Amino acid sequence: MIELLLVINHTLFLLSPGPLSIVVEFQNSVTGSNVSLIFNYVGGRFYAWMFTDEKTLEYYTSGIYDVGGALARTAIDGVVFCSSMKYKVTIYRFKKVTFEALNTCLVVQIWPRKDSCYISLPPPLFTISIFSSIPSPR
């Protein structure tokens, strides 16, 4: 049974039900500071946290709201992260899997979607299981 679809670097991962953590790490192109986004998947929803320095938090929020607190209180159905800069994605499931990406998007969707809304992406070059280390050509 498949519960999540994850696409990164034109590779589609099919994930079975269960808890999952995704960590996205990158350097903010304006402040030069490191940023970590953590997405925990529990009970059919994602919960997010952001960690960075005060200068970068100010850049993202203009001091108007607490982005970390706002993220922690919000459950989301999926994750889309795009960057023209280099970033690293680490997936923690039963083992740790790490990818580096540049000028691409990370997309994680619950499958099947109850609302029939899907993000349209080019077809993946590979489809693999998160537990496999050998890609299967499409």
Residue 131 counted as domain residue: no
What is the pLDDT, as a whole number, of residue 77?
Answer: 81
47 part of a folded domain: yes
User: Is 133 within a domain?
Assistant: no
pLDDT score of 33: 95
Give a yes or no: residue 22 inside a domain. Answer: yes
Instruction: Summarize pLDDT for 111-131 with one digit per residue, the tens.
Output: 776 655 544 544 444 444 443
Name the phi and psi angles at 53, rounded to 5. -85, 170
In-domain check, residue 100: yes
pLDDT at 113: 62
Computed from CA positions of residues 68, 63, 26, 77, in that sequence, does the dihedral angle turn out positive or negative? positive
Domain hosting 35: range is 4-121
- 40 within a domain of the structure (yes/no): yes
Query: Into how many domains does the chain fold?
Result: 1
**Residue 5 predicted with pLDDT over 70:** yes
Confidence at residue 114, expressed as pLDDT on a 0 to 100 scale? 62
| Length of the chain, in residues | 138
Cβ atoms of 22 and 38 within 8 Å: the answer is yes
pLDDT the model gives residue 137: 44
